[in-house]
Copies of this chain bind each other. A is one copy, B any other.
Amino acid sequence: MTSARDAAPTPTPDGDARPICVIGLGLIGGSLVRASVASGRTVWSATASASTASAARADGYDVAQSTDEALARAAEADALVVLATPLTAITEVLRRVDAIAPRCRLTDVVSVQVAMRDLVEEHAPTTRYVGGHPMAGTAESGWAAGSATLFDGANWVVETDDGVDTGAGSVWADVAELAWACGSRVVPAGSEEHDAAVARISHLPHILAAVLAAVAASDVTHPGRGFGVDLGGLPLTLAAGSFADGTRVMDTRPELVVAMCEGNRSALLAAVDDALGRLGAARGSLASTGGLAATVNAGHTGRQHWQSARTAPEVRIPTGLKPAELRDLGREGKVLTGWS
């Protein structure tokens, strides 16, 4: 893939690239601060954690004394405010935004989009908000785990619902340019489309991994529960490659997985229902004809389509495309790397 770092950002009225104000300095927020500073932006931040603030300042980054101070600077400088706290802390932050910087340029890197949009409309309704979601992360968390290169080559979803201003100087353009500055590719999507997509490729994998790990460990965690012979620790002793891969995400702290999946409840329900239907069909076929070819072939085909999608066509776009035109590019599997 080509680097998008050379995409020229839309200048602010005084000619500089848009300043960035990051609220929250965990893995994603902390990486965003590092990456956007590395790209030459003016960046400041805030965190509720005194120890994180000290660590970030010791590393040379500009951390405001409080969220209110960071937001006041953002209002003054017409900066792009990026919310990078957990979803559970968002309401309180939005109340401060509404009090201090009610008209600010606002985006987020929280993950779910419909729930975020609803919260913004309720608690900070006059902000100029466009949601975002960089598809990047590790099993680690916290400031120390962050990296200026976390977003290199990642896909960064930018909310592109009908009615969003996508023109030059818009918040949509700000978010896209921030993504490009961090080395990411932009994927335009509507809020509901985004949530449905991540339910299938991020949240459902966690649920299936949980089910798989629980099945394999069941005779250890619930010995003698009565399903025929008790296997004890035998399955876990024999478990290797396919089990290890299929359950890896269960190494993540369970409260983070629960919050992430529950935050996308209605889209995840649809994905789980799809999976239940397919697993039930496999079960029925195995029990009747014994045949699993349809199930396995569909899975193999799906995986092949994903392998193809890893070399997604990269396109540059003119300014002024309408939201529906941009969303079509996302549905076609294209990723955006800059202005044409």
Contact = CB atoms under 8 A, between A and B. Distances in A.
Contacts of A229: 190, 192-193, 196
Given A193-B229, A236-B201, A303-B213, A241 B137 contact: yes
A17 to B, nearest CB: 27
A262 interface: yes
Interface in A278-316: 278-280, 282-283, 286-287, 290-293, 295-303, 305-306, 309, 312
B201 A299 contact: no
Interface in A320-340: 330-333, 335
A243 B205 contact: yes
Interface in A61-96: none
Nearest to A189: B234
A299 B211 contact: yes
Contacts of A142: none
Nearest to A233: B333
B330 A234 contact: yes
A309 B213 CA distance: 13
A215 B275 contact: yes
26 contacts: A155-B240, A187-B237, A190-B229, A193-B231, A194-B234, A196-B229, A200-B216, A201-B242, A202-B240, A202-B242, A207-B292, A210-B302, A211-B278, A215-B278, A215-B302, A216-B302, A217-B302, A221-B301, A237-B330, A254-B300, A257-B300, A261-B292, A261-B296, A265-B286, A276-B280, A279-B279
